[in-house]
Amino acid sequence: MVKTTYREAVREGLREALLRDPRVFLMGEDVGRYGGAYACSRGLLEEFGPDRIRDTPLSESTFVGAGIGAALGGMRPIVEVMTVNFSLLALDQIVNNAATFRHMSGGQFSIPLVVRMATGAGRQIAAQHSHSLEGWYAHVPGITVLTPATVTDAKGMLLTALTTPDPVFIFEHAFLYPMEGELDENAGPVDISQAVVRRTGKDLSLITFGGSLWKALEAADRLATEGIETEVIDLRVLRPLDRPTILTSVAKTHRALIVDEGWRTGSFAAEISAQIMEGGFYSLDVPVARLCSAEVPMPYPKHLEDAALPSVEGIVQAAQKLVGGS
Amino acid sequence: MTYEIERDQALKLLHQMLRIRRFEEKSVELYSQMKIRGFLHLYIGEEAVAVGALQALTPEDAIVGTYREHGHALVRGTPMGSLMAELYGKATGCSRGRGGSMHFFDASRRFYGGLAIVGAGFPIAVGLGLADKLQSKPRVTACFFGDGAVAEGEFHESLNLAALWKVPVLFLCENNLYAMGTALARHQAQTDIAMKAAGYGIAGQTVDGMDVLAVRDATMKAAEAVRKGQGPQFLEFRTYRFRAHSMYDPDLYRNKEEIEQWKEHDPIPTFIGRLREWKCLTDEDVAKIEADVAAEVEKAVAFAEAGPWEPVEDLLKDVYTPVPDRGRTKC
């Protein structure tokens, strides 16, 4: 095991992908000379050259669409979109082309495209760079939606995504980039079909993904000191959703708290809640609870941003209420 | 302007234009019989563009089309029966009946739609061109679009990127003067579309889109330049659709005189007239072509009629590519 940052793990994944397969190339805004807005591709231009590390103009719709075209043309493009907020400029290409081509053509085309982008809040960059819209993307059939929360997943999910014949969207929580973790020297592709139980417990299922995983684990530590044993589920894959792992956990703990950095109304947490109602209602001792972001555009000042986001303290309180309420 | 043309080639061009015309006239008839539903955008009047332009493409080249793509698919060689079956929504259609009129696809002929979001084909074409360039494949991608599409951001983004990266893409604008019901001058501050290409360093040229030979020759030249590695090329074909935008369109935004005036330039009779003048064509030739086309259309309808519907159990098939143990890894 070696200590590495999430950012470095992404970079290693990119590098390994480029080394493994000559069809792989990376394109996006400032991925080359700048080294990536979050420095995930630093050094890759020097190593792989400008044909494979391609700086693009600020034309999200066109460079994401060009990724679709290049995938149709036999390449394995990795497209980096600087943030999830910018990806909205490419939503047409994603929803109307990437997700539809295969079905609409009667199964004639596959689009092996990987799109990575930063998501999430916590760095005081306000209302146009801080949202968590991965739940929206998970609404769309035809694509796969991944939310790596660990260094192992940051590297490994990218590698597995590149072996997938259909479009894969990877949402990297921007707050995680400097986070350190242990990465196996031989870390490679990882499963992208299942959720993972990151901590086992019998009193409560804490279901979350992405950047919120670490808040959930910290909350679980605190709850343990009070004698509350929390099971923490890292969803990892928002589409296709691993229902069995969720329902198995809820059947054991009889209580579910969902933590989602998206807005509450129409959130991915709402989908998880509905899945539990449909498949695990009779296991529940108390109603499912959700902890989501406040329904405001993300404000700039730290105290307001903190107040808008799910917090460790908030998770602890919600969990206490849920356990105490049974 | 003078053109060189062999008699065989002339007959072939005429045959292709008539195939489109008669196929679409039949589809209107079938629409009124409710055999075909949804949107049906007719190409009638614009046939010279697809027929002329596709002469410049080889089977290895790619086509990215719009929702008015019946003609392009026919000329590309997708069997008429599978196109008619697609209009019916039958499983024997070129897209298994899932796309209908707006979404013809044919992987074996590198026909990438059939795309019905205006402007959305530009980036796909740039990407296909990029893939060819990166793989050193000497192929061309022909990207068709209408005058309405030049108002979309993707037009500007993609022309810029195509020129910047010198990708082998042929941008072919079918300017029929209307973005659905909005006349060009009512949606563009600069109505000279070829001039917009010049803004991105791409040499644009305006061509008479009602003249199949002019279209053919201009496209041949442009395709040659692309093949020589000179980067993307841009042609604007001035054309006109004789029918309404779609079957739902009452056509209230154009006057009858304008339509009649354009019909005087109908690419089919004018081409026939010219060939007769050149003593390249006899009445028997025309009669024979018409009879061949009528038989082909009749056969296509019979094929569509006979085809099965896709079973409802297959509804979810092909949302994803079937792979064993999707997303799982032994690592």
List pLDDT tens digits, range A58-85.
999 999 999 999 999 999 999 999 999 9
What is the model's pTM?
Answer: 0.96
Chain A residue with minimal CA distance to B328? A191
B153 prior amide bond cis, ω within 30: no
Residue of chain B whose alpha carbon sits nearest to that of A240: B327
Measured between CB atoms, which of A93, A108, A110 is closest to B120? A93
Given a contact cutoff of 8 angstroms between Cβ atoms, the answer to whether B89 and A106 are in contact is no
Q: How confident is the model at residue B93 (pLDDT cuts 50, 70, 90)?
A: very high
The string of pLDDT tens digits covering residues B177-215 is 999 999 999 999 999 999 999 999 998 999 999 999 999
Rounded to an integer, the average pLDDT of A25-30 is 98
Please enumerate in sequence order all residues whose Cβ is within 8 A of that of B200, keeping only pairs 6 or more positions apart, or say none: B156, B159, B160, B162, B163
Nearest CB neighbour to B161, from listed A62, A110, A188? A62
Given an 8 Å threshold on Cβ–Cβ distance, is A69 in contact with B131? Answer: yes
Residue type, position B135, single letter: Q
Closest-CA distance, B252 to chain A, in angstroms, reads 30
Please report, for chain B, how many H helices and E strands are present, in that order.
12, 8
Mean pLDDT of chain A: 97
Mean of all residue pLDDT scores within chain B: 95
Is the Cβ pair B131, A62 closer than 8 Å?
no
Residue A87 in this model has a pLDDT that exceeds 70: yes
Using the beta-carbon criterion (under 8 Å), do B328 and A141 form an inter-chain contact?
no
d(CA A213, CA A235): 9
Which conformational region is residue B223 in: left (phi greater than 0), alpha (psi within -120 to 50 degrees), or beta? alpha
First to last CA, chain B: 67
User: Residue B4: which residues within 8 A CB-CB, separation 6 or more?
Assistant: none
Minimal C-alpha gap between A246 and chain B (Å): 18
CA distances (Å), origin B75, targets A152, A243, B203, B227: 51, 48, 27, 21
For A233-277, the pLDDT digits (tens) are: 999 999 999 999 999 999 999 999 999 999 999 999 999 999 999
Instruction: Give the count of beta carbons closer than 10 Å to the beta carbon of residue B255.
Output: 10
Average pLDDT over residues B48-52: 98
The ipTM estimated for the assembled molecules is 0.95
Contact A164 B323 (CB under 8 A): yes
Q: How confident is the model at residue B331 (pLDDT cuts 50, 70, 90)?
A: very low
| Residue A13 parent element (H or E) | helix A6-20
Partners of B105 on chain A (C-beta within 8 Å) are 104-106, 108-109
Which of B188, B191, B177 minimizes the C-alpha distance to B245?
A: B177
E strand or H helix at B10, and its extent?
Answer: helix B7-32
Report the pLDDT value the prediction gives residue B2, as an integer from 0 to 100. Answer: 63
Q: Which residues of A touch B117 (CB under 8 A)?
A: 92, 96-97
* Mean pLDDT confidence for A104-124: 96
Question: Cα(A273)–Cα(A267) distance, rounded to whole angstroms?
Answer: 10
Asked whether the beta carbons of residue A73 and residue B135 sit closer than 8 angstroms, the reply is yes
* Residues A216-225: b if buried by 16+ CB within 10 A, e if exposed: bbebbebbee
Say if residue A131's pLDDT is above 60. Answer: yes
Determine, for residues A192 and B94 on separate chains, whether the beta-carbon distance falls below 8 Å: no
* Side chain identity, residue A207: I
Whole-number Å distance between alpha carbons of B300 and B30: 12
Whether A277 contacts A234, CB under 8 Å? no
When pLDDT is averaged across residues B241-269 and rounded to a whole number, the result is 93
With an 8 Å Cβ cutoff, are A62 and B106 in contact? Answer: no
Cα–Cα nearest to B44, from B308, B258, B262: B262
Q: How far is CA A228 from its chain centroid?
A: 28
Cβ contacts below 8 Å, chain A against chain B, sum to 167
Percent of chain A with pLDDT over 70: 99
B88 interaction partners in chain A (CB closer than 8 Å): none
In this predicted model, what pLDDT tens digit does every residue of A142-165 receive, in sequence order?
Answer: 999 999 999 999 999 999 999 999
In chain A, the residue whose alpha carbon lies closest to the alpha carbon of B130 is: A70
Radius of gyration from C-alpha coordinates of chain B? 20
In this prediction, residues B226-255 reach a mean pLDDT of 93
pLDDT at B62: 98
Q: Strands, DSSP E only, in B155-203?
A: 169-175, 178-179, 182-183
B207-235: pLDDT as tens digits: 999 999 999 999 999 999 999 999 999 99
Q: Which residue type, as a one-letter code, is found at position A210?
A: G
Interface test with A, best of B158, B318, B325, B326 (most A CBs within 10 A): B318
Angstrom distance (rounded) from CA A142 to CA A20: 26
Percent of all residues in chain A with a pLDDT value above 90, rounded to a whole number:
98
